[in-house]
Structure 1
Amino acid sequence: MAKNPNLTLEGPDLAALLCSRVCHDVISPVGAINNGLELLDEGGPGASDADALDLIRTSALNAAVRLKFARLAFGASGSVGASIDTGEAEKAAKDYAAAEKKTEVTWSGPRAIVAKNRVKLLLNLFLVAYGGIPRGGSVDVMLENPEHHAKFTITIKGRMMRVPAKFVEICSGTLDESIDAHTIQPYYTVLLADECGMELRYVVSEDKIVFTAETTAA
């Protein structure tokens, strides 16, 4: 498989941009927690207290879910070369969607302990697919033979479906701008596929978009 010309980031730059991505994901719920605490400080007893506490609880859950997802999708999650239970990935993906309450996630296929980078690829492809239905909808994840000649299929349905434009450009090697914190996640998805020897594809039809990652022939 030919090397993608867009995969040019050095290690320190990759690490820095992934850190920026994680910070971007958690800054909103953490800020909302702070807003809730300010409401408690400013208001007296009554309904405002209940509203503030509800905001804090919801935002704290959202931040925790995003951090747990990021730990698996972007982090080391153990030593170099470690393996991960796909059940952990399933829980992380379902919790991630449940926290936003606008997308239903279904998951099928065998549960297995597989190479860490394969699980990270699966979760990052999930993020790409999830970003394709910004108004919400459904995401169906299917795993086939995850321990060996793996194939991951993620099907999305919803309003205003689209394949994220930067993912298309990076996949095809046609991105003509520098990678930044907004494009690092699709970049990392393509990089992981390259590292895992898996080929990324997507098929767009009228009622769904199907993303796949499949192990290439040796």
Structure 2
Amino acid sequence: MPKNPNLTLEGPDLAALLCSRVCHDVISPVGAINNGLELLDEGASDSDALDLIRTSALNAAVRLKFARLAFGASGSVGASIDTGEAEKAAKDFASAEKKTEVTWNGPRAIVAKNRVKLLLNLFLVAYGGIPRGGSIDVTLENPEYDARFIITIKGRMMRVPAKFVEIAEGTLEEPVDAHTIQPYYTVLLAEECGMDLRHVVSEDKIVFIAEARPT
């Protein structure tokens, strides 16, 4: 059982809140597709409307593919995932908004599903730490065994998402909702994978680390 006192959600509540998170992520680009179609109906420039539709459709597709790996089953229970898929999902996710550059270092490997999900969810936490854009450097060390994931962010107005810290430290006082479910899920995955989470803040960067607990 998880030791963190904040990790108390039952399965149905966890699933419902994760579904809300996914819907929140895709409703904006899907709504923009609808706006583009309305512009066509109103006789607006075909090229402008089609550009909006294409961009929004790509954004929605990228977000859904990312969510499938980060939140979904992605295969049977106990399945493994190629870290190359995670790399593509992360880079496509960032490139869709064109404000953050992602670099990825480390061996490509077939890794336990929950570890890859942890990696992608920690990536989301880190991504949220540079709301004005910047750079994210992802490094995988020994991902198949005593894994260590290091995600470094740089950018304007850097910050460590406050709710992530509260949940990780077990000090969150309010109930988990659709806005806090993603950092909650990150901490839960770390517990399930037997990995510790920490972060280091310096003047020019923030480093998020997930590493296997010593046995």
TM-score, structure 1 as length reference:
0.98
Counterpart amino acid of residue 116 in structure 1 = K
Q: After superposition, where does 1:181-200 map in structure 2 within 5 Å?
A: 181-200=178-197
Distance in structure 2 (CA, Å) of the matches to 1:95 and 1:188: 22
| TM-score, length basis structure 2 | 0.99
Which residue matches 1:113?
A: 110
Once the two structures are superposed, residues 169-195 of structure 1 have per-residue CA deviations (whole angstroms, 9 ceiling, x without a partner) of 001000000000000000000000000
Query: Which residue of 158, 163, 166 corresponds with 2:163?
Result: 166
Matched, 1:151 2:148: yes
Question: Structure 1's 2 and 217: CA in aligned 2 closer, same or farther, altered over 3 A?
Answer: farther
Equivalent-residue separation in structure 2 for 1:213 and 1:176 (angstroms) = 24
1:101 aligns with 2:98: yes
Q: Secondary structure at the match of 1:43?
A: coil
Alignment of 1:129 onto 2:130:
no
Q: Which residue of 2 aligns with 1:12?
A: 12
Equivalent residue number for residue 28 of structure 1: 28
CA distance in 1, matches of 2:2, 2:26: 36
The alignment partner of 1:33 has SS state of: helix
Query: Which ranges of structure 2 fall in alignment gaps of 5 or more residues?
Result: none
Report how far residue 49 of structure 1 moved: 1.2
Distance in 1 (CA, whole Å) between partners of 2:205 and 2:163 is 19
User: Structure 1: which amino acid aligns with 2:186?
Assistant: T
* One-letter identity of the residue aligned with 2:89: A
1:70 paired residue among 63, 67, 71: 67
* Percentage of matched positions with identical amino acids: 88
Offset at residue 2 of structure 1 (A): 7.2
Deviation (angstroms), 1:125? 0.0
Gaps of 5+ in 1: none
